[in-house]
């Protein structure tokens, strides 16, 4: 009678670690992907002074704000999107869902690994999921060959592919060459691409390239304030539609929005106006964050690799996707033969929270997990000392390495 849908695994792990904390256990929170950074002061002030904005906006959102967002993203990486093709909502998650819901039937290409919510959303929308396998050696990138090879599993004449970079759970991005190759195959197979660029502004080299610049015909980009602005709980997301979007598609998106969320919270839209005011003024804030994130991410990756927990150094955002396969025999001998058991035993023995690879589309027996290196207080400048300023991060990594060593 009921739809089968479990609570999103990222939220579930947060609840589990909170339970352990209530029991006064020291928990290292590498599970939940929440930014440790505060929104800029001016943005905080703008939200405070906007509480009297109790009115609804249009479903698409405040026009001046959409104008700011359009200019901001053009300055950021040359992405040109008209304000009338920007859709605002309470978070990008609901936009991703509504894009999928706009189609009666579609094939949805999703990479493994991929963010936990794509597949459940596609399933809820009644679509056919086509998994795109990737590998550690390929840096978890989708290859054009895999897309071509899997296209034979298509069941309908609508194809959607979701890409996400810098990626959750891998922290990796695509090179310009790789984006061009992906764009070529998407065009060839007439695929609508949803490019989830929620971590784009957290590219560690501040050099994010938007997919829509290579495939403007049929790319919808999603982004928002949750990650680069540290404001996940404010619930603010944006979708950039392509220029000649089919009027029926745009109508469906606005229609579904009007029947579900109505509009993004108006005070948050007012604060977003300040956040998106000028890209150049935001650069300093982004530079500080990305310098810190890069340093911490590199530190964690290096230490894990030294313990033969292989992982790629991150290029953006705040995730790593460590692979424990080198230790498989030892883990199996200790009864640990699934990523779920790996994470629950690690949590029990050390208090370190990771998310199992199975949540990201893998078979149960693949021994990997996602690590969000966000358990630290925002340092005041880029001249910080990881050992001193991020004790939970360094302790957490040491705990994982020692655990595997002494197992």
Ligand X SMILES: Cc1ncc(COP(=O)(O)O)c(C=O)c1O
Q: Which residue ranges make up the site for ligand X (CB under 6 A)?
A: 33, 91-93, 115, 164, 168, 196, 198, 224, 226, 232, 237
315 Ramachandran zone, left/alpha/beta (phi>0; psi -120 to 50): alpha
In angstroms, what is the C-alpha Rg of the chain? 21
Helix H or strand E encompassing 193: strand 191-196
DSSP one-letter code for 211: G
Cβ at position 378, least distance to ligand X in Å: 19
Q: Does the CA dihedral 299-303-305-309 come out positive or negative?
A: negative
> Closer CB to ligand X, residue 60 or residue 168?
168
Cβ at position 34, least distance to ligand X in Å: 8
Distance from the first to the final alpha carbon of the chain: 45
> Closer CB to ligand X, residue 256 or residue 331?
256
Cβ at position 28, least distance to ligand X in Å: 19
Cβ at position 142, least distance to ligand X in Å: 15
CA distances for 95 relative to 86, 90, 241, angstroms: 11, 8, 11
Contact yes or no for 253/98 (Cβ under 8 A):
yes
Cβ at position 169, least distance to ligand X in Å: 9
> Closer CB to ligand X, residue 164 or residue 307?
164
Cα(313)–Cα(322) distance, integer angstroms: 10
* Cβ count within 10 A of residue 153: 12
Residues in the chain, overall count:
407
> Closer CB to ligand X, residue 202 or residue 386?
202
> Closer CB to ligand X, residue 210 or residue 394?
210
Cβ at position 348, least distance to ligand X in Å: 26
DSSP one-letter code for 357: G
> Closer CB to ligand X, residue 214 or residue 228?
228
Cα(37)–Cα(318) distance, integer angstroms: 11
Cβ at position 359, least distance to ligand X in Å: 12
> Closer CB to ligand X, residue 224 or residue 257?
224
Q: In what order do the strands lie in the sheet with 369-372?
A: 319-320, 369-372, 355-356
Cβ at position 186, least distance to ligand X in Å: 19
> Closer CB to ligand X, residue 352 or residue 359?
359
> Closer CB to ligand X, residue 37 or residue 331?
37
With b for 16 or more beta-carbon neighbours within 10 A and e for fewer, the 100-128 pattern comes to: bbbbeebbbbbbbbbbbbbbbbbbebebb
Cβ at position 211, least distance to ligand X in Å: 14
> Closer CB to ligand X, residue 253 or residue 386?
253
Contact yes or no for 89/69 (Cβ under 8 A):
no
Helix (H, G, I), strand (E, B) or coil at 244: coil
Cα(168)–Cα(274) distance, integer angstroms: 27
CA distances for 76 relative to 104, 236, 321, 339, angstroms: 35, 19, 27, 38
Joined together, the tokens standing for residue 35 give 């930014």
Helix (H, G, I), strand (E, B) or coil at 29: strand
Cβ at position 319, least distance to ligand X in Å: 8
Q: Which residue is nearest to ligand X (CB)?
A: 91
């Amino acid at each position: 009678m009921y739809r089968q849908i479990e609570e999103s695994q990222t939220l579930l792990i947060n609840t589990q670690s909170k339970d352990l904390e209530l029991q006064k256990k020291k928990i290292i929170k590498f599970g939940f992907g929440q930014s440790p950074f505060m929104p800029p002061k001016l943005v905080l002030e703008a939200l405070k002074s906007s509480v009297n904005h109790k009115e609804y906006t249009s479903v698409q959102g405040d026009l001046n704000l959409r104008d700011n967002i359009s200019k901001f993203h053009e300055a950021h990486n040359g992405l040109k999107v008209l304000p009338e093709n920007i859709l605002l909502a309470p978070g990008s998650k609901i936009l991703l869902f509504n894009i999928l819901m706009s189609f009666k039937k579609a094939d949805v290409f999703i990479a493994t690994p991929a963010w936990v919510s794509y597949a459940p959303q596609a399933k809820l929308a009644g679509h056919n999921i086509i998994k795109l396998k990737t590998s550690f050696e390929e840096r978890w990138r989708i290859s054009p060959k895999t897309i071509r090879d899997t296209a034979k599993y298509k069941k309908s004449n609508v194809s959607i592919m979701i890409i996400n970079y810098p990626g959750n759970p891998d922290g990796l991005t695509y090179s310009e060459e790789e984006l061009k190759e992906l764009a070529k195959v998407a065009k060839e197979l007439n695929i609508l691409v949803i490019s989830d660029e929620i971590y784009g502004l957290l590219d560690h080299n501040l050099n994010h390239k938007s997919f829509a610049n290579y495939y403007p015909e049929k790319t919808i980009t999603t982004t928002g304030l949750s990650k680069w602005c540290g404001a996940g709980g404010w619930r603010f997301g944006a979708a950039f539609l392509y220029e000649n979007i089919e009027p029926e598609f745009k109508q469906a998106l606005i229609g579904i929005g009007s029947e579900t969320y109505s509009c993004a919270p108006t005070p948050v839209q007012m604060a977003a106006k300040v956040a998106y005011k000028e890209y150049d003024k935001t650069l300093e804030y982004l530079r500080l964050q990305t310098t810190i994130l890069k340093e911490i991410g590199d530190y964690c990756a290096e230490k894990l690799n030294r313990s033969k927990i292989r992982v790629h150094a991150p290029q953006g955002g705040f995730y790593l996707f460590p692979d424990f396969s080198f230790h498989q025999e030892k883990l199996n001998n200790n009864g640990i033969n699934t990523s779920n058991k790996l994470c629950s035993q690690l949590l029990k023995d050390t208090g370190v929270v990771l998310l199992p690879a199975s949540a990201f589309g893998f078979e149960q027996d693949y021994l990997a997990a996602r690590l969000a290196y966000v358990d630290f207080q925002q340092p005041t400048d880029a001249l910080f000392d990881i050992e001193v300023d991020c004790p939970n991060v360094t302790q957490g990594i040491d705990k994982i390495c020692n655990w595997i060593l002494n197992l």
